Structure 1
Amino acid sequence: MNVVIIEDEVLATDKLERYLLKYNSKVKIVAKITSVEEAINWFTMNSINYDIIFMDIQLTDGLSLEIFNNVTIKKPVVFVTAYDEFAIDAFKVNSIDYILKPINFTDLATALNKLKNMTSYYTINESVSNLKKEVERKNNKERFMVKLGNYIHAVNTETDIALFYAEGRTVYLVTNENKKYIIDFTIKDLVKVLNSKTFFRVNRTFIISINTIANVVVYSNSRLKINPKVKIDELIIVSRDNTGDFKKWFEGDFNIMK
């Protein structure tokens, strides 16, 4: 763990360093800073090579809170100070604890344990989020195999497909070149394998690509009609139940897929 100490009292800095090493002998003090100006200069040049900051409030040239008005600090901060009146202001920034001097080892350990718990929580949740995105990415079908006579072709899902639609139990894939193929999928099955950023199920019959929408117009009873770039004999009407979600998807909210 790399630590930055911002403190203008040498004895206080030494004491804090002893407690940090007592808590974890692998702690590395990467900077000892004594003023607001020095801190601003240091953070301007060093944005990522530290894990936590221990910071006094009152420094030789002003309040350390001024640092946050001049540089962006995204790492957690523990304030160690003799002044309790700045606690509210401290928690408006990245503060995870506010320790009043004289500091003791128990207070420091409590702050570091809090950091450890927070780090574990966010690391786990970030991993879950990344895993979910990876699973979703892998589940997106990249190509469809279509048959034309005795020949089989691969159609790229993202770049070549304009829309899908159903006639009874038969489902058709329509390309951007207006070629139509029968595929062995149901509309319901397609929803599970298509990228929701690109495709939206507008009603029971049609799934359309964002790339093939020429324009959208208000239809009867406040419903929406989609005019595609490809030639389709049937009207593509967004169902009433899907209108709200379609508008969000069309505006860029890709977390919607019916």
Structure 2
Amino acid sequence: MKALIIEDEKPAQGKLLRQLNKTPYDIEVVKYIDNVSSSVKWLSQHQSDIDLIFMDIHLTDGIAFDILKEVQVVKPIIFTTAYDEYALDAFKANSIDYLLKPVDFEALTKAIQKLEVLQMQNISETKSQLDNLLESYNQKYKERFMVRVGDAIKSITVDQIIAFVADGRHTFIYTQDNRRYVVDFKMEELTDILDPEKFFRTNRSFIVQKAHIKTVEKYTNSRLLLHLVLELPKEVIVGREKVKDFKNWFDN
């Protein structure tokens, strides 16, 4: 069985390969790719050379779903993700498995066992599964985030989130109980997966939830200053170019 690994982290590539070598299945990894654009190009030309794809969700230049939008994938996919339940319900419903990083050997073995069932299906059935997955992704806004707390993983529903804050190389979630968690998303990605009726990006550093805004006041240079139910480390300012859109959103 020949496999393609789409993964942008070298340590994760190596660990997945080591785990694959421990399974009772004869799997040959024929290619490693670490970004969306190269994946689209390679799959367009060589998809017939493989039997299985291991696909990380977050890549250097986008997310896995961008690949599926650009090229017709008819091979079974096992998705991998660090700590985010990205449409996991859709994965399960469509018999497409996922692995939570760090990759667990038992989960990996079960995922490959599921592949044996997928291989008995015809191409049109597999394509239909992927189409359903894309439809689910395109229509459903994110309802929860999985975050690390020490060695554990905690589920945070969006209703608990006051704001997302970009600080340096990290993005943080601030919650109602005055806690802060690192989340594995860039601000640009969050604007695509959050419900725009609930969340608004005020500037490069903040995305706020409407339900947790206490007051809005005028600020210098025709900007707005937001006061949230929880005081954040920095002032939450609505940039002048976004004031009109913010008012329309907030009044809606």
Tell me the TM-score normalized by structure 2: 0.44
Tell me the TM-score normalized by structure 1: 0.43
> Larger C-alpha radius of gyration, 1 or 2?
1
